Amino acid sequence: MERLIKSLRNALLILVASPLITFASGGGIKLDPAPINPNDRISLQRGAHSFVNYCMGCHSAGYMRYSRLKDLGLTEDQIKENLVLPGAKVGETMAIAMQKNDSKEWFGVPPPDLSVIARSRGVDWLYTYLRTYYKDDSRSTGWNNLVFDKVGMPHVLWRLQGTQVLNVTEKRDAHGHQVNESKLELAIPGQLSAKEYDLFVADLVNYLAYMGEPAKSKRSQLGIVVLFFFAFMFVLLLLLKKEYWKDIK
């Protein structure tokens, strides 16, 4: 029995420590919390517009239909005029014309489908990733990223954010060990201010999170209704029990 308890304890310690191990192996980059609100329809509409205009040149969303955008408060005419790509219909998925063979030849690897990227990477990772590109002339694309080192995708949003450069300074920690501190600095301003760009990225990430699970908000609302129903039934049954047993000793 003691051996079994010890084995279970060790397994539990491994499960608890594994996220820390993954964090360390990922370079120890601190992720910024994504300031998103899945119930903010205006933010989701802006994010959908940004996704179509900046992401769908290379990335598809094969599990998401344009018609699902009606849940965000958009009409079919608004979707047709502002979001549907030429040649596509509202009832179709958000696919692109680029073929996988062509994209592999051009980029070395086909750009991933972004339908569930938020569930795969996490919203904090995406929010930090889209804000930590910097100029790197050693890369074929001219860009690199703090979160995704040697990233293959160029910084398609550089006109909005501007051009960042990476400054590395040598410091010593509390134990006297030499450590490198990396800091991004804006070398060339973009069309948006830092605050405006962060809001732009937040809206885009908000939409990516919605796209990965469009029914999440409705399911959460339904869950709250069900909990209230159970609470009401509990009180009703409790009163019924008291009424039924009041004359029985």
Indicate whether 156 and 246 sit together in one domain: no
Q: Are 174 and 184 contacting, i.e. CB atoms less than 8 angstroms apart?
A: no
Q: Determine how many CB atoms are found less than 10 A away from the CB of residue 204.
A: 24
Write out the residue range of the structural domain in which residue 3 sits: 1-28
Residues 191, 246 within the same domain? no
Q: Kindly report whether the global pTM for this prediction surpasses the value 0.85.
A: no
pLDDT, residue 2, reads 52
User: What distance in Å separates the CA atoms of residue 135 and residue 124, rounded to the nearest whole number?
Assistant: 22
pLDDT per residue as tens digits for the range 64-96: 999 999 999 999 999 999 899 888 889 999 988
The answer to whether residues 90 and 76 touch, using CB atoms and an 8 Å cutoff, is yes
Among 85-94, 175-184, 201-210, 226-235, the range scoring the smallest mean pLDDT is 175-184
Q: Do 110 and 130 lie in a common domain? A: yes
Can you list the alpha helix ranges (DSSP code H) found in 70-193? Answer: 76-82, 100-107, 117-121, 123-129, 158-161
Q: In the predicted model, is pLDDT for residue 21 greater than 60? A: no
149-158 LR contacts (CB < 8 Å, sep 24+): 149/27, 152/107, 152/108, 152/109, 153/58, 153/111, 156/54, 156/55, 156/57, 157/54, 157/130, 157/133, 157/197, 157/200, 157/201, 158/133, 158/190
Type and span of the H or E element at 110 = none
Helix ranges, the chain (H): 2-25, 41-50, 76-82, 100-107, 117-121, 123-129, 158-161, 194-212, 216-245
| 95 and 137 both lie in a single domain | yes
- Looking at the structure, do residues 69 and 88 belong to the same domain, yes or no? yes
Residue 26: predicted pLDDT: 41
Residues 119 and 192 in one domain: yes
CA–CA distance, 201 with 147 (Å, rounded to integer): 15
Separation CA 128–CA 131 (nearest Å)? 5
Q: Cβ distance 62 to 95 under 8 Å?
A: yes
CATH code where residue 115 lies = 1.10.760.10
Q: Are residues 179 and 157 in the same domain?
A: yes
Same domain, 175 and 71: yes
Domain count, the chain: 3
206 vs 105: which has the higher pLDDT: 206
Q: What is the pLDDT of residues 145-199, one digit of tens each?
A: 999 999 989 999 999 999 999 998 877 767 767 777 789 999 999 999 999 999 9
pLDDT at site 199: 98
| 78 lies in the same domain as 194 | yes
Do 143 and 76 belong to one domain? yes
> Residue 242's pLDDT band (boundaries 50, 70, 90)?
confident
Residues 122 and 231 in one domain: no
Task: Indicate if 39 and 115 belong to the same structural domain.
Answer: yes
Q: Is the pLDDT of residue 211 over 50?
A: yes
Reading the block at residue 133, the tokens are: 């590109």
